[in-house]
Amino acid sequence: MLKSLLFTFLLFLSFIGFTEASDKSQLTWAGFSFLGNFDQRDARYPYTSSISLDFEEKGLASPIDEKLNALIENYEGNDFTLSSQMADNNQRLFATIGISFEDVYETRVNNKYKVSYEIGLNFVIFDFEEKKIVSIYPMRFLRNEIFSKKPTRLDHANKIKKLYEGNEFNILSLAVENIRGVNIKENAGNYLGISGIEFVGNSDKFLPDEKNIDSLGSSIIQEFEGYLSINNKIPLVPYLKGESLATSMVLRFSDRTKMSLKLPIRDYEIKIKVRGFGFKKSANYYGYTAKIKIIAQDDLNPSLVDLDLSKNIWVLKKAVGRLDDKFAQWMIYKEALSVLLDDTSKQIELMDENWTKKHSINKDAVEQLKTLKILLDRTK
Please state, rounded to an integer, the average pLDDT across all residues of the chain.
Answer: 88
For residue range 185-208, list pLDDT tens digits in order: 656 579 999 999 999 999 988 988
Q: In terms of domains, do 322 and 345 share one?
A: yes
Is pLDDT above 50 for 9?
Answer: no
The yes-or-no verdict on residue 246 having pLDDT over 80 is no
Residues 254, 31 contacting (CB under 8 angstroms): yes
Q: Where are the alpha helices (DSSP H) in the chain?
A: 2-7, 41-44, 46-56, 63-71, 153-165, 171-178, 213-232, 317-320, 326-350, 353-359, 365-377
CATH number, domain with residue 300: 3.30.160
> Crossing angle for the helix pair 153-165 and 63-71, nearest 10 degrees?
20
Mean pLDDT along residues 4-11: 34
The answer to the question of residue 239 being in a domain is no
Strand partners, 281: 286
**Predicted local distance difference test score (pLDDT) of residue 11:** 31
**Confidence category of residue 315, pLDDT binned at 50, 70, 90:** very high
Q: Which pLDDT tens digit goes with each residue over 205-240?
A: 898 876 578 888 988 999 999 999 999 989 999 886
Per-residue confidence band for 3, with pLDDT thresholds at 50, 70 and 90: very low
| Range scoring the smallest mean pLDDT among 42-51, 64-73, 89-98 | 89-98
Dihedral over alpha carbons 32, 255, 30, 266 (to 10 degrees):
70
Look up the domain containing 73 and give its range: 1-186+244-265
How does pLDDT run across 266-303, given as a tens digit for each residue? Answer: 999 999 999 999 999 999 999 999 999 999 999 899 99
Please tell me whether residues 74 and 211 are part of one structural domain. Answer: no
| Same-domain check for residues 292 and 169 | no
Residue 348 lies in a domain: yes
Are 181 and 291 part of one and the same domain?
no
Furthest CA-CA distance within the chain? 69
Over residues 102-147, the pLDDT tens digits come to 999 888 877 889 999 999 999 999 999 999 998 999 999 999 999 9
What is residue 215's predicted lDDT score, i.e. its pLDDT? 83
φ/ψ region of 59 (left if φ > 0, alpha if ψ in -120 to 50, else beta) reads left
Q: Bridge-partner residues for 259, per DSSP? A: 251
Task: Please indicate, yes or no, whether residues 254 and 274 belong to a single structural domain of this protein.
Answer: no
Q: Do 145 and 219 belong to one domain?
A: no
Q: What does the pLDDT read at residue 107?
A: 85
pLDDT at residue 57, as a whole number: 86
The verdict on residue 53 lying in a domain is yes
In the predicted model, what is the mean pLDDT of residues 58-63? 89
- Residue 42 CB neighbours (<10 A): 9
Q: What is the DSSP string of 286-322?
A: EEEEEEEEEEEE-SS-TTSEEEEEEEEEEEEHHHH--
Please tell me the predicted confidence (pLDDT) of residue 243.
53
Query: What pLDDT shows up at residue 118?
Result: 94
Q: What is the CATH number of the domain that holds 174?
A: 3.40.50
Given a cut of 70, is residue 328 above it in pLDDT?
yes
DSSP for 341-366, please give it: HHHHHHHHHH--HHHHHHHB--TTHH
Q: How far apart are CA 354 and CA 338, in angstroms?
A: 20
> What total number of domains does the chain contain?
2
